[in-house]
Structure 1
Amino acid sequence: MLEESIVIDVSSSVGSQMMEAVKSRRMVFVAGLPSAGKSFILQQLTIMAGIEGRKVYSLQWDDARRSFETEEALARFPEVDNLTHPAIRKAVGYWVRNAVVKWHAANPDPANTLIVELPVMGGRFVELMQQHDDEAENLLASDQVIMFTPIPSVEVRAAIENVRQETITNPRHELEAKDAPLYIVQAEWQSVRQIYNQQNGIESDAKRDSIYDPEIYREVFLNLLRFRNYSILDIDQLYEVKGSAYERPVPVEVIEAEEADIKASYERLDIEFPGEKAERAIDDWANY
Protein backbone atom coordinates (compact mmCIF):
# COMPACT_ATOMS: atom_id res chain seq x y z
CA MET A 1 0.00 0.00 0.00
CA LEU A 2 1.15 3.52 -0.78
CA GLU A 3 0.61 4.63 2.80
CA GLU A 4 3.43 2.32 3.85
CA SER A 5 5.83 4.29 1.65
CA ILE A 6 5.14 7.53 3.54
CA VAL A 7 8.07 8.11 5.88
CA ILE A 8 7.22 11.65 6.98
CA ASP A 9 4.54 11.87 9.65
CA VAL A 10 1.71 13.75 7.93
CA SER A 11 0.65 15.19 11.28
CA SER A 12 4.05 16.85 11.73
CA SER A 13 4.74 20.42 10.60
CA VAL A 14 6.70 19.25 7.56
CA GLY A 15 4.33 16.44 6.61
CA SER A 16 1.14 18.42 7.06
CA GLN A 17 2.40 21.24 4.83
CA MET A 18 3.34 18.76 2.13
CA MET A 19 0.03 16.91 2.29
CA GLU A 20 -1.93 20.15 2.19
CA ALA A 21 0.07 21.21 -0.87
CA VAL A 22 -0.79 18.10 -2.89
CA LYS A 23 -4.44 18.50 -1.91
CA SER A 24 -4.79 22.18 -2.75
CA ARG A 25 -2.10 23.20 -5.27
CA ARG A 26 -1.80 22.40 -8.94
CA MET A 27 1.97 22.71 -8.92
CA VAL A 28 4.41 21.94 -6.11
CA PHE A 29 8.06 22.95 -6.43
CA VAL A 30 11.02 21.87 -4.30
CA ALA A 31 13.95 24.29 -4.41
CA GLY A 32 17.31 24.06 -2.73
CA LEU A 33 20.85 22.81 -2.46
CA PRO A 34 22.08 19.27 -3.08
CA SER A 35 22.35 17.24 0.14
CA ALA A 36 19.39 19.13 1.57
CA GLY A 37 16.85 16.35 1.05
CA LYS A 38 15.22 17.54 -2.19
CA SER A 39 14.99 14.10 -3.80
CA PHE A 40 13.45 12.63 -0.66
CA ILE A 41 10.90 15.44 -0.38
CA LEU A 42 10.04 15.04 -4.08
CA GLN A 43 9.53 11.32 -3.56
CA GLN A 44 7.29 11.82 -0.54
CA LEU A 45 5.24 14.49 -2.33
CA THR A 46 4.77 12.12 -5.26
CA ILE A 47 3.53 9.35 -2.97
CA MET A 48 1.20 11.74 -1.13
CA ALA A 49 -0.22 12.89 -4.46
CA GLY A 50 -0.77 9.26 -5.43
CA ILE A 51 -2.61 8.60 -2.18
CA GLU A 52 -4.86 11.57 -2.97
CA GLY A 53 -5.67 10.06 -6.36
CA ARG A 54 -3.71 12.59 -8.37
CA LYS A 55 -2.16 11.93 -11.75
CA VAL A 56 1.45 12.99 -11.20
CA TYR A 57 3.63 14.81 -13.70
CA SER A 58 7.31 15.43 -13.04
CA LEU A 59 9.60 18.22 -14.20
CA GLN A 60 13.19 17.70 -13.08
CA TRP A 61 16.44 19.31 -14.08
CA ASP A 62 18.27 16.18 -15.19
CA ASP A 63 15.39 15.00 -17.37
CA ALA A 64 15.10 18.43 -19.01
CA ARG A 65 18.84 18.93 -19.39
CA ARG A 66 19.37 15.63 -21.18
CA SER A 67 16.96 16.70 -23.92
CA PHE A 68 19.12 19.77 -24.58
CA GLU A 69 22.41 17.87 -24.60
CA THR A 70 22.24 17.04 -28.27
CA GLU A 71 25.38 15.97 -30.10
CA GLU A 72 25.60 19.39 -31.74
CA ALA A 73 25.07 21.26 -28.46
CA LEU A 74 27.68 19.25 -26.56
CA ALA A 75 30.19 19.83 -29.34
CA ARG A 76 29.71 23.58 -28.86
CA PHE A 77 29.15 23.58 -25.11
CA PRO A 78 30.94 20.62 -23.49
CA GLU A 79 30.56 19.61 -19.86
CA VAL A 80 33.54 20.48 -17.66
CA ASP A 81 34.26 18.83 -14.28
CA ASN A 82 30.77 17.28 -14.12
CA LEU A 83 29.16 20.70 -14.62
CA THR A 84 26.69 21.51 -17.38
CA HIS A 85 27.91 24.33 -19.62
CA PRO A 86 26.38 27.74 -18.80
CA ALA A 87 24.94 28.02 -22.31
CA ILE A 88 23.00 24.78 -21.97
CA ARG A 89 21.71 25.85 -18.56
CA LYS A 90 20.48 29.09 -20.11
CA ALA A 91 18.86 27.31 -23.04
CA VAL A 92 16.95 25.02 -20.67
CA GLY A 93 15.87 28.09 -18.73
CA TYR A 94 14.44 29.73 -21.84
CA TRP A 95 12.24 26.68 -22.32
CA VAL A 96 11.06 25.90 -18.80
CA ARG A 97 8.64 28.78 -18.18
CA ASN A 98 6.73 27.99 -21.36
CA ALA A 99 6.81 24.30 -20.43
CA VAL A 100 4.91 25.03 -17.22
CA VAL A 101 2.33 27.13 -19.09
CA LYS A 102 1.85 24.41 -21.71
CA TRP A 103 1.38 21.76 -19.02
CA HIS A 104 -1.19 23.90 -17.22
CA ALA A 105 -3.18 24.48 -20.41
CA ALA A 106 -3.02 20.84 -21.51
CA ASN A 107 -4.01 19.44 -18.10
CA PRO A 108 -6.98 21.41 -16.74
CA ASP A 109 -8.25 18.51 -14.62
CA PRO A 110 -7.68 19.46 -10.94
CA ALA A 111 -6.72 15.83 -10.31
CA ASN A 112 -3.48 16.47 -12.23
CA THR A 113 -0.47 17.59 -10.21
CA LEU A 114 2.90 18.84 -11.43
CA ILE A 115 5.83 18.27 -9.07
CA VAL A 116 8.95 20.24 -9.97
CA GLU A 117 12.56 20.07 -8.82
CA LEU A 118 14.37 23.43 -8.64
CA PRO A 119 18.13 22.95 -8.22
CA VAL A 120 18.49 26.76 -8.48
CA MET A 121 22.25 27.09 -7.93
CA GLY A 122 24.19 27.98 -11.02
CA GLY A 123 21.00 29.23 -12.62
CA ARG A 124 19.32 25.84 -13.01
CA PHE A 125 15.58 26.45 -13.46
CA VAL A 126 15.98 29.76 -11.61
CA GLU A 127 13.79 31.35 -14.30
CA LEU A 128 10.80 29.81 -12.52
CA MET A 129 11.58 31.92 -9.45
CA GLN A 130 12.30 35.14 -11.30
CA GLN A 131 9.72 37.71 -12.36
CA HIS A 132 9.27 38.03 -16.11
CA ASP A 133 6.72 39.91 -18.17
CA ASP A 134 5.19 36.86 -19.84
CA GLU A 135 2.26 34.48 -19.73
CA ALA A 136 3.94 32.29 -17.12
CA GLU A 137 4.23 35.00 -14.48
CA ASN A 138 0.59 35.16 -13.42
CA LEU A 139 0.52 31.38 -13.12
CA LEU A 140 3.78 31.07 -11.17
CA ALA A 141 2.77 33.87 -8.79
CA SER A 142 -0.71 32.43 -8.20
CA ASP A 143 -2.09 30.35 -5.36
CA GLN A 144 -1.96 27.33 -7.65
CA VAL A 145 1.78 27.16 -6.98
CA ILE A 146 3.83 26.65 -3.84
CA MET A 147 7.59 26.36 -3.57
CA PHE A 148 9.15 24.42 -0.71
CA THR A 149 12.76 24.70 0.40
CA PRO A 150 13.97 21.99 2.79
CA ILE A 151 16.60 23.33 5.19
CA PRO A 152 18.33 20.59 7.16
CA SER A 153 20.01 21.22 10.49
CA VAL A 154 23.80 20.98 10.62
CA GLU A 155 23.57 17.45 11.99
CA VAL A 156 21.04 16.27 9.42
CA ARG A 157 22.99 17.75 6.52
CA ALA A 158 26.16 15.98 7.67
CA ALA A 159 24.24 12.70 7.82
CA ILE A 160 22.77 13.28 4.34
CA GLU A 161 26.26 13.92 2.96
CA ASN A 162 27.46 10.65 4.47
CA VAL A 163 24.55 8.79 2.88
CA ARG A 164 25.24 10.50 -0.46
CA GLN A 165 28.85 9.39 -0.47
CA GLU A 166 27.80 5.85 0.36
CA THR A 167 25.11 5.68 -2.33
CA ILE A 168 27.35 7.18 -5.01
CA THR A 169 29.83 4.40 -4.25
CA ASN A 170 27.19 1.69 -3.84
CA PRO A 171 24.07 2.95 -5.64
CA ARG A 172 20.67 1.47 -4.85
CA HIS A 173 19.24 3.21 -7.94
CA GLU A 174 20.91 4.16 -11.21
CA LEU A 175 20.39 7.87 -10.52
CA GLU A 176 22.29 7.70 -7.23
CA ALA A 177 25.47 6.94 -9.15
CA LYS A 178 24.93 10.22 -11.00
CA ASP A 179 24.41 12.37 -7.90
CA ALA A 180 26.64 15.42 -7.62
CA PRO A 181 29.86 14.41 -5.83
CA LEU A 182 30.60 16.01 -2.50
CA TYR A 183 33.05 18.53 -3.92
CA ILE A 184 30.20 19.96 -6.02
CA VAL A 185 27.88 19.86 -3.00
CA GLN A 186 30.46 21.91 -1.09
CA ALA A 187 30.99 24.30 -4.00
CA GLU A 188 27.27 25.00 -4.21
CA TRP A 189 27.09 25.71 -0.49
CA GLN A 190 29.97 28.15 -0.90
CA SER A 191 28.05 29.82 -3.72
CA VAL A 192 25.19 30.40 -1.28
CA ARG A 193 27.63 31.84 1.21
CA GLN A 194 29.13 34.13 -1.46
CA ILE A 195 25.67 35.45 -2.33
CA TYR A 196 25.05 36.14 1.36
CA ASN A 197 28.41 37.88 1.73
CA GLN A 198 27.78 40.09 -1.30
CA GLN A 199 24.28 41.03 -0.16
CA ASN A 200 25.52 41.95 3.31
CA GLY A 201 28.86 43.56 2.46
CA ILE A 202 30.86 40.83 4.20
CA GLU A 203 34.39 39.98 3.13
CA SER A 204 35.03 36.39 2.13
CA ASP A 205 36.84 34.05 4.49
CA ALA A 206 37.65 30.62 3.05
CA LYS A 207 37.57 28.72 6.35
CA ARG A 208 34.40 30.36 7.68
CA ASP A 209 32.61 30.25 4.34
CA SER A 210 33.14 26.51 3.96
CA ILE A 211 31.00 25.77 7.03
CA TYR A 212 27.33 25.07 6.35
CA ASP A 213 24.99 27.45 8.17
CA PRO A 214 21.24 26.78 7.88
CA GLU A 215 20.33 30.35 8.82
CA ILE A 216 22.42 31.78 5.99
CA TYR A 217 20.88 29.21 3.65
CA ARG A 218 17.45 30.36 4.84
CA GLU A 219 18.14 34.06 4.32
CA VAL A 220 19.52 33.59 0.81
CA PHE A 221 16.61 31.41 -0.32
CA LEU A 222 13.97 33.63 1.24
CA ASN A 223 15.32 36.37 -0.99
CA LEU A 224 15.46 34.15 -4.08
CA LEU A 225 11.87 32.98 -3.45
CA ARG A 226 10.44 36.42 -2.71
CA PHE A 227 8.26 36.58 -5.85
CA ARG A 228 6.57 33.23 -5.17
CA ASN A 229 4.32 31.56 -2.63
CA TYR A 230 6.80 29.58 -0.59
CA SER A 231 7.33 27.67 2.61
CA ILE A 232 10.50 26.63 4.40
CA LEU A 233 10.63 23.02 5.58
CA ASP A 234 12.91 22.82 8.61
CA ILE A 235 14.38 19.31 8.60
CA ASP A 236 15.63 18.49 12.08
CA GLN A 237 15.55 14.70 11.89
CA LEU A 238 16.99 12.08 9.57
CA TYR A 239 14.15 10.05 8.11
CA GLU A 240 14.40 6.31 7.58
CA VAL A 241 14.24 6.20 3.79
CA LYS A 242 12.96 2.89 2.45
CA GLY A 243 15.11 1.99 -0.53
CA SER A 244 16.23 4.88 -2.73
CA ALA A 245 14.79 8.40 -2.64
CA TYR A 246 14.63 8.15 -6.43
CA GLU A 247 12.11 5.31 -6.38
CA ARG A 248 8.56 6.29 -7.32
CA PRO A 249 5.92 3.70 -6.34
CA VAL A 250 3.27 5.61 -8.31
CA PRO A 251 3.12 6.24 -12.08
CA VAL A 252 4.79 9.51 -13.07
CA GLU A 253 4.71 11.23 -16.45
CA VAL A 254 7.96 13.07 -17.16
CA ILE A 255 7.93 16.44 -18.94
CA GLU A 256 10.70 16.91 -21.49
CA ALA A 257 11.37 19.43 -24.23
CA GLU A 258 10.38 18.71 -27.81
CA GLU A 259 12.77 19.15 -30.72
CA ALA A 260 11.18 22.43 -31.81
CA ASP A 261 11.50 23.84 -28.28
CA ILE A 262 15.17 22.93 -28.13
CA LYS A 263 15.86 24.51 -31.51
CA ALA A 264 14.07 27.72 -30.49
CA SER A 265 16.02 27.95 -27.22
CA TYR A 266 19.40 27.65 -28.91
CA GLU A 267 18.40 30.18 -31.56
CA ARG A 268 17.48 32.64 -28.80
CA LEU A 269 20.75 31.88 -27.01
CA ASP A 270 22.74 32.69 -30.15
CA ILE A 271 20.98 36.03 -30.42
CA GLU A 272 21.28 37.07 -26.77
CA PHE A 273 24.67 35.48 -26.00
CA PRO A 274 26.55 35.14 -29.29
CA GLY A 275 30.00 33.59 -29.53
CA GLU A 276 32.12 33.76 -26.39
CA LYS A 277 29.35 35.55 -24.49
CA ALA A 278 27.67 32.15 -24.11
CA GLU A 279 30.31 31.29 -21.50
CA ARG A 280 28.83 33.98 -19.26
CA ALA A 281 25.15 33.35 -19.95
CA ILE A 282 24.28 32.66 -16.31
CA ASP A 283 26.75 34.92 -14.52
CA ASP A 284 23.99 37.11 -13.07
CA TRP A 285 21.50 34.36 -12.31
CA ALA A 286 21.02 35.39 -8.65
CA ASN A 287 20.66 39.11 -9.33
CA TYR A 288 16.95 39.69 -9.69
Structure 2
Amino acid sequence: MVFFTGLPASGKSFLLRQQISISVSLGRRVHIMRWDTGLAAFQTEDLLARYPDVSDGTHPLIRKAAGLWGRRALARWLAENTDPTDLIVGEVPIIGNRFSEFIQTQPDQIEPALASEETTFMYPVPTKGLRANLEAIRRSTFANPRHPDEARDAPPSTMELAWRQTCAKAAELGLVSEVDIHFPYEEAIYVRFFEHLLQHRNVVRIAVDTIFSDAGSAHDLNANVLELCASSDEVKYAIAEVETTFTAEAAAREVENWYRV
Protein backbone atom coordinates (compact mmCIF):
# COMPACT_ATOMS: atom_id res chain seq x y z
CA MET A 1 0.00 0.00 0.00
CA VAL A 2 1.23 3.49 -0.88
CA PHE A 3 -0.41 6.60 0.56
CA PHE A 4 0.30 10.20 -0.38
CA THR A 5 -0.37 12.73 2.35
CA GLY A 6 0.46 16.32 3.14
CA LEU A 7 -0.85 19.84 2.85
CA PRO A 8 -3.44 20.78 0.22
CA ALA A 9 -1.66 22.14 -2.86
CA SER A 10 1.59 20.30 -2.17
CA GLY A 11 1.56 17.87 -5.11
CA LYS A 12 -0.23 14.81 -3.67
CA SER A 13 -2.57 14.27 -6.62
CA PHE A 14 0.20 14.64 -9.19
CA LEU A 15 2.43 12.15 -7.38
CA LEU A 16 -0.47 9.73 -6.99
CA ARG A 17 -1.08 9.93 -10.73
CA GLN A 18 2.59 9.24 -11.47
CA GLN A 19 2.67 6.33 -9.01
CA ILE A 20 -0.35 4.78 -10.72
CA SER A 21 1.18 5.23 -14.18
CA ILE A 22 4.47 3.62 -13.16
CA SER A 23 2.77 0.78 -11.33
CA VAL A 24 0.40 -0.06 -14.19
CA SER A 25 3.31 0.00 -16.67
CA LEU A 26 5.07 -2.58 -14.47
CA GLY A 27 2.08 -4.92 -14.55
CA ARG A 28 0.61 -4.09 -11.16
CA ARG A 29 -3.14 -4.31 -10.63
CA VAL A 30 -3.92 -0.96 -9.01
CA HIS A 31 -6.80 0.12 -6.83
CA ILE A 32 -7.07 3.66 -5.51
CA MET A 33 -8.57 5.25 -2.42
CA ARG A 34 -9.02 9.01 -2.12
CA TRP A 35 -10.51 11.08 0.67
CA ASP A 36 -12.60 13.26 -1.64
CA THR A 37 -14.18 10.29 -3.38
CA GLY A 38 -14.61 8.31 -0.16
CA LEU A 39 -16.27 11.28 1.53
CA ALA A 40 -18.63 11.89 -1.40
CA ALA A 41 -20.54 8.68 -0.57
CA PHE A 42 -21.36 10.16 2.85
CA GLN A 43 -22.56 13.50 1.49
CA THR A 44 -26.12 12.41 0.81
CA GLU A 45 -29.01 14.84 1.03
CA ASP A 46 -30.32 13.11 4.15
CA LEU A 47 -26.98 13.07 6.00
CA LEU A 48 -26.15 16.67 5.10
CA ALA A 49 -29.55 17.73 6.43
CA ARG A 50 -28.81 15.99 9.74
CA TYR A 51 -25.14 16.92 9.87
CA PRO A 52 -24.57 20.10 7.85
CA ASP A 53 -21.11 21.41 7.03
CA VAL A 54 -19.31 23.42 9.69
CA SER A 55 -16.86 26.31 9.46
CA ASP A 56 -13.86 24.11 8.57
CA GLY A 57 -15.66 21.74 6.21
CA THR A 58 -17.58 18.51 6.60
CA HIS A 59 -19.42 17.84 9.86
CA PRO A 60 -17.19 16.03 12.40
CA LEU A 61 -19.51 13.06 12.76
CA ILE A 62 -19.42 12.44 9.01
CA ARG A 63 -15.62 12.73 9.01
CA LYS A 64 -15.41 10.13 11.79
CA ALA A 65 -17.75 7.79 9.91
CA ALA A 66 -15.75 8.12 6.69
CA GLY A 67 -12.54 7.32 8.59
CA LEU A 68 -14.13 4.28 10.21
CA TRP A 69 -15.27 3.04 6.81
CA GLY A 70 -11.82 3.73 5.35
CA ARG A 71 -9.88 1.52 7.76
CA ARG A 72 -12.38 -1.30 7.34
CA ALA A 73 -12.32 -0.95 3.57
CA LEU A 74 -8.54 -1.33 3.61
CA ALA A 75 -8.80 -4.48 5.74
CA ARG A 76 -11.35 -5.91 3.33
CA TRP A 77 -9.20 -4.99 0.33
CA LEU A 78 -6.19 -6.80 1.81
CA ALA A 79 -8.23 -9.90 2.51
CA GLU A 80 -9.66 -9.98 -1.02
CA ASN A 81 -6.55 -9.00 -3.00
CA THR A 82 -3.75 -11.39 -2.18
CA ASP A 83 -1.94 -11.56 -5.52
CA PRO A 84 1.59 -10.06 -5.29
CA THR A 85 0.76 -7.73 -8.19
CA ASP A 86 -2.11 -6.10 -6.28
CA LEU A 87 -1.42 -2.56 -5.10
CA ILE A 88 -3.53 0.12 -3.46
CA VAL A 89 -2.54 3.76 -3.89
CA GLY A 90 -4.24 6.34 -1.71
CA GLU A 91 -4.55 10.07 -1.16
CA VAL A 92 -4.88 10.75 2.55
CA PRO A 93 -4.95 14.46 3.53
CA ILE A 94 -4.90 13.75 7.33
CA ILE A 95 -5.16 17.42 8.38
CA GLY A 96 -8.51 18.13 10.01
CA ASN A 97 -9.39 14.45 10.49
CA ARG A 98 -9.48 13.53 6.82
CA PHE A 99 -8.52 9.84 6.97
CA SER A 100 -6.28 10.67 9.93
CA GLU A 101 -7.42 7.31 11.31
CA PHE A 102 -4.91 5.75 8.89
CA ILE A 103 -1.97 7.09 10.92
CA GLN A 104 -3.40 6.35 14.36
CA THR A 105 -2.51 3.08 16.06
CA GLN A 106 -5.72 1.18 16.67
CA PRO A 107 -6.32 -2.40 17.85
CA ASP A 108 -7.95 -3.64 14.67
CA GLN A 109 -7.31 -5.99 11.76
CA ILE A 110 -5.59 -3.45 9.50
CA GLU A 111 -3.11 -1.95 12.00
CA PRO A 112 -0.28 -4.48 11.45
CA ALA A 113 -0.41 -3.84 7.70
CA LEU A 114 -0.54 -0.06 8.07
CA ALA A 115 2.50 -0.17 10.37
CA SER A 116 4.50 -2.62 8.24
CA GLU A 117 7.40 -1.94 5.89
CA GLU A 118 5.17 -3.04 3.01
CA THR A 119 3.09 0.12 3.46
CA THR A 120 4.60 3.53 2.72
CA PHE A 121 3.28 6.99 3.53
CA MET A 122 4.84 9.63 1.28
CA TYR A 123 4.51 13.35 1.71
CA PRO A 124 5.73 15.99 -0.75
CA VAL A 125 7.51 19.04 0.63
CA PRO A 126 7.53 21.90 -1.87
CA THR A 127 10.08 24.68 -1.62
CA LYS A 128 8.77 28.02 -0.37
CA GLY A 129 8.72 29.53 -3.85
CA LEU A 130 7.07 26.51 -5.40
CA ARG A 131 4.42 26.41 -2.67
CA ALA A 132 3.35 29.95 -3.59
CA ASN A 133 2.98 28.83 -7.22
CA LEU A 134 0.99 25.74 -6.21
CA GLU A 135 -1.34 27.87 -4.10
CA ALA A 136 -1.95 30.16 -7.07
CA ILE A 137 -2.64 27.18 -9.33
CA ARG A 138 -5.12 25.79 -6.78
CA ARG A 139 -7.01 29.08 -6.65
CA SER A 140 -7.20 29.08 -10.44
CA THR A 141 -8.27 25.45 -10.91
CA PHE A 142 -10.81 25.65 -8.10
CA ALA A 143 -12.42 28.70 -9.70
CA ASN A 144 -12.21 27.18 -13.22
CA PRO A 145 -11.92 23.37 -12.96
CA ARG A 146 -10.24 21.64 -15.90
CA HIS A 147 -11.38 18.25 -14.60
CA PRO A 148 -14.54 17.32 -12.63
CA ASP A 149 -12.46 16.15 -9.65
CA GLU A 150 -10.81 19.57 -9.35
CA ALA A 151 -14.15 20.93 -8.15
CA ARG A 152 -13.79 18.61 -5.14
CA ASP A 153 -10.27 19.76 -4.28
CA ALA A 154 -9.80 21.58 -1.00
CA PRO A 155 -10.93 25.17 -1.66
CA PRO A 156 -8.48 28.03 -1.10
CA SER A 157 -10.02 28.75 2.32
CA THR A 158 -9.38 25.15 3.44
CA MET A 159 -5.87 25.26 1.96
CA GLU A 160 -5.10 28.35 4.05
CA LEU A 161 -6.76 26.89 7.15
CA ALA A 162 -4.68 23.71 6.84
CA TRP A 163 -1.48 25.75 7.01
CA ARG A 164 -2.72 27.75 10.00
CA GLN A 165 -3.58 24.48 11.76
CA THR A 166 -0.15 23.09 10.93
CA CYS A 167 1.54 26.08 12.56
CA ALA A 168 -0.76 26.11 15.59
CA LYS A 169 -0.62 22.38 16.28
CA ALA A 170 3.15 22.17 15.73
CA ALA A 171 3.64 24.95 18.27
CA GLU A 172 1.16 23.36 20.68
CA LEU A 173 3.10 20.09 20.53
CA GLY A 174 6.39 21.90 21.14
CA LEU A 175 7.76 20.90 17.74
CA VAL A 176 8.56 24.50 16.84
CA SER A 177 8.79 27.77 18.70
CA GLU A 178 5.55 29.63 19.21
CA VAL A 179 4.55 31.09 15.85
CA ASP A 180 1.80 33.29 14.55
CA ILE A 181 -0.86 31.14 12.85
CA HIS A 182 -0.58 33.47 9.86
CA PHE A 183 3.14 32.73 9.53
CA PRO A 184 4.01 32.14 5.85
CA TYR A 185 4.78 28.62 4.66
CA GLU A 186 8.04 27.22 5.98
CA GLU A 187 9.36 23.80 5.02
CA ALA A 188 10.87 23.17 8.48
CA ILE A 189 7.53 23.62 10.30
CA TYR A 190 5.75 21.39 7.79
CA VAL A 191 8.39 18.65 8.00
CA ARG A 192 8.53 18.57 11.79
CA PHE A 193 4.76 18.38 12.05
CA PHE A 194 4.35 15.58 9.51
CA GLU A 195 7.22 13.59 10.95
CA HIS A 196 5.29 13.75 14.22
CA LEU A 197 2.02 12.71 12.56
CA LEU A 198 3.66 9.80 10.74
CA GLN A 199 5.83 8.54 13.60
CA HIS A 200 4.01 5.17 13.69
CA ARG A 201 4.27 4.60 9.94
CA ASN A 202 6.92 3.88 7.33
CA VAL A 203 7.44 7.33 5.84
CA VAL A 204 9.21 8.86 2.85
CA ARG A 205 9.63 12.62 2.42
CA ILE A 206 9.74 13.88 -1.17
CA ALA A 207 11.40 17.23 -1.89
CA VAL A 208 9.50 19.04 -4.64
CA ASP A 209 11.06 21.93 -6.55
CA THR A 210 9.60 21.70 -10.07
CA ILE A 211 6.22 22.31 -11.69
CA PHE A 212 5.49 20.37 -14.87
CA SER A 213 3.48 22.98 -16.70
CA ASP A 214 2.45 20.67 -19.56
CA ALA A 215 1.30 17.81 -17.34
CA GLY A 216 -2.42 18.67 -17.54
CA SER A 217 -4.75 18.10 -14.63
CA ALA A 218 -3.33 15.96 -11.83
CA HIS A 219 -6.70 14.20 -11.77
CA ASP A 220 -6.30 12.81 -15.31
CA LEU A 221 -5.25 9.34 -14.21
CA ASN A 222 -5.04 7.91 -17.74
CA ALA A 223 -5.17 4.37 -16.39
CA ASN A 224 -7.72 1.65 -15.85
CA VAL A 225 -7.93 1.51 -12.06
CA LEU A 226 -10.67 0.63 -9.61
CA GLU A 227 -11.53 3.03 -6.80
CA LEU A 228 -12.71 2.00 -3.35
CA CYS A 229 -16.01 3.71 -2.54
CA ALA A 230 -18.52 3.13 0.25
CA SER A 231 -21.80 1.47 -0.65
CA SER A 232 -25.03 2.92 0.71
CA ASP A 233 -25.18 0.10 3.28
CA GLU A 234 -21.58 0.75 4.36
CA VAL A 235 -22.39 4.44 4.79
CA LYS A 236 -25.46 3.59 6.85
CA TYR A 237 -23.57 1.17 9.12
CA ALA A 238 -20.61 3.53 9.63
CA ILE A 239 -22.87 6.46 10.51
CA ALA A 240 -24.93 4.30 12.88
CA GLU A 241 -21.82 3.06 14.68
CA VAL A 242 -20.39 6.55 15.10
CA GLU A 243 -23.77 7.83 16.32
CA THR A 244 -23.80 5.04 18.89
CA THR A 245 -20.28 5.91 20.05
CA PHE A 246 -20.34 9.72 19.94
CA THR A 247 -22.70 12.60 20.34
CA ALA A 248 -22.20 15.35 17.79
CA GLU A 249 -20.32 17.34 20.44
CA ALA A 250 -18.08 14.38 21.34
CA ALA A 251 -17.35 13.75 17.66
CA ALA A 252 -16.31 17.39 17.32
CA ARG A 253 -13.89 16.99 20.25
CA GLU A 254 -12.43 13.85 18.68
CA VAL A 255 -11.95 15.60 15.37
CA GLU A 256 -10.31 18.55 17.14
CA ASN A 257 -7.66 16.13 18.45
CA TRP A 258 -6.94 14.52 15.05
CA TYR A 259 -3.21 15.37 15.32
CA ARG A 260 -2.63 13.44 18.56
CA VAL A 261 -1.06 10.15 17.53
User: TM-score of the superposition, structure 2-length normalised?
Assistant: 0.94
The answer to which of 188-197 and 170-179 deviates more is 170-179
* Alignment of structure 1 residues 1-288 onto 2, 5 Å: 27-80=1-54, 83-200=57-174, 202-206=177-181, 209-288=182-261
| Secondary structure of residue in 2 paired with 1:233 | strand
The answer to which of 102-111 and 265-274 deviates more is 265-274
Q: Give the match for residue 11 of structure 1.
A: none
Please give the alpha-carbon distance, in whole angstroms, between the structure 2 residues aligned to 1:142 and 1:276: 34
Q: Which amino acid aligns with 2:205?
A: I
Deviation at 1:72, TM superposition (A): 2.4
Please give the alpha-carbon distance, in whole angstroms, between the structure 1 residues aligned to 2:164 and 2:55: 17
Between structure 1 and structure 2, the one with the greater Rg is 1
Q: For this pair of structures, how many residues does the alignment match?
A: 260
| Secondary structure of residue in 1 paired with 2:244 | helix
The answer to which of 159-168 and 141-150 deviates more is 159-168
Please give the alpha-carbon distance, in whole angstroms, between the structure 2 residues aligned to 1:182 and 1:146: 28
Please give the alpha-carbon distance, in whole angstroms, between the structure 1 residues aligned to 2:252 and 2:105: 23
In 2 relative to 1, CA 131–279 (structure 1 residues): closer, same or farther, beyond 3 Å? Answer: closer
Runs of at least 5 residues in structure 1 that lack an aligned partner in the other structure: 1-26
- Report if aligned partners of 1:87, 1:281 keep a CA contact under 8 Å in 2: no
Runs of at least 5 residues in structure 2 that lack an aligned partner in the other structure: none
Q: Give the match for residue 4 of structure 1.
A: none
**CA offsets, 1:47-97, max 9 Å, x none?**
111111112111001111111122321111112457111110011111111
Please give the alpha-carbon distance, in whole angstroms, between the structure 1 residues aligned to 2:18 and 2:128: 22
Please give the alpha-carbon distance, in whole angstroms, between the structure 2 residues aligned to 1:205 and 1:114: 38
Q: Give the match for residue 20 of structure 1.
A: none
| Secondary structure of residue in 2 paired with 1:56 | strand
Q: Which amino acid aligns with 1:134?
A: D
Please give the alpha-carbon distance, in whole angstroms, between the structure 1 residues aligned to 2:190 and 2:232: 37
- Report if aligned partners of 2:60, 2:248 keep a CA contact under 8 Å in 1: no
In 2 relative to 1, CA 277–82 (structure 1 residues): closer, same or farther, beyond 3 Å? Answer: closer
- Report if aligned partners of 2:36, 2:153 keep a CA contact under 8 Å in 1: no
Please give the alpha-carbon distance, in whole angstroms, between the structure 2 residues aligned to 1:287 and 1:242: 36
**CA offsets, 1:20-52, max 9 Å, x none?**
xxxxxxx11001110101111111111111111
Q: Which amino acid aligns with 2:170?
A: Y
**CA offsets, 1:199-219, max 9 Å, x none?**
11844524xx43101111000
The answer to which of 111-120 and 173-182 deviates more is 173-182
Deviation at 1:279, TM superposition (A): 3.6
| Secondary structure of residue in 2 paired with 1:212 | coil
Please give the alpha-carbon distance, in whole angstroms, between the structure 1 residues aligned to 2:196 and 2:184: 21
Please give the alpha-carbon distance, in whole angstroms, between the structure 1 residues aligned to 2:128 and 2:107: 38
User: TM-score of the superposition, structure 1-length normalised?
Assistant: 0.85
